[in-house]
Structure 1
Amino acid sequence: MSGLINANPTIYEKKERRVRTTPLFSDQDDAVEPIDQLEVFDHLRDIKDPEHPYSLEELKVITEEAVEVDDKKSYVRVTFTPTVEHCSMATIIGLCLRVKLMRSLPLRYKVDIRVAPGSHATETAVNKQLNDKERVAAALENPNLLDMVDECLGPSYD
Structure 2
Amino acid sequence: MTLGLINANPVVHAKKARVPRTEESHSHSDDCHPYSLEQLSVLSEESITVDEKLGRILITFTPTIQHCSMAAVIGLCLRVKLKEFFPPHFKLDIKVAPGSHADEESVNKQLNDKERIAAALENPNLRQLVDECLYSCEI
Q: Normalization by structure 2: what TM-score?
A: 0.84
Aligned length: 130
Unpaired runs of at least 5, structure 2: none
1:153 and 1:145 map into 2 onto residues whose CA distance is: 12
Distance apart, 1:80 and its partner CA: 0.1
Name stretches of at least 5 consecutive residues in structure 1 with no aligned partner. Answer: 26-41
- The match for 1:133 is 114
Aligned twin of 1:7 = 8
Mapped partners of 2:9, 2:107: distance in 1: 24
Report the counterpart of residue 105 of structure 1 in structure 2: 86
Match of 2:71 in 1: 90
Q: Hey, what's the Cα distance between the residues in 1 that align with 2:63 and 2:74?
A: 8
Separation in 2, partners of 1:76, 1:123 = 19
Match of 1:36 in 2: none
**Residue 62 of structure 1: SS of its match in structure 2?**
coil
Matches of 1:92 and 1:53, distance apart in 2: 19
Find out whether 1:73 has 2:74 as its counterpart.
Answer: no
Deviations 1:122-156 (Å, cap 9, x if unpaired)?
0000000000000000000111111111111127x
Residue by residue over 1:17-71, the C-alpha shift from the partner in whole angstroms, topping out at 9 and shown as x without a partner, is 2254xx589xxxxxxxxxxxxxxxx57xx379xxx74221121100000001111
In 2, the alpha carbon distance for the partners of 1:47 and 1:66 equals 20
2:40 corresponds to which residue?
59
Give the percent of matched residue pairs that are identical in Structure 1 and Structure 2. Answer: 62
> Secondary structure of 2:93's partner?
strand
| 1:7 aligned partner, one-letter code | A
Normalising by structure 1, what TM-score? 0.74
What is the DSSP-based 3-state SS (H/G/I as helix, E as strand, rest coil) of the residue aligned with 1:91? helix
Q: Letter of the 1:114 partner, please give it.
A: K
Q: RMSD in angstroms over aligned alpha carbons?
A: 2.3
- Inter-partner Cα distance in structure 2 for 1:81 and 1:138: 24
- Whole-angstrom CA distance in 2 between matches of 1:113 and 1:89: 14
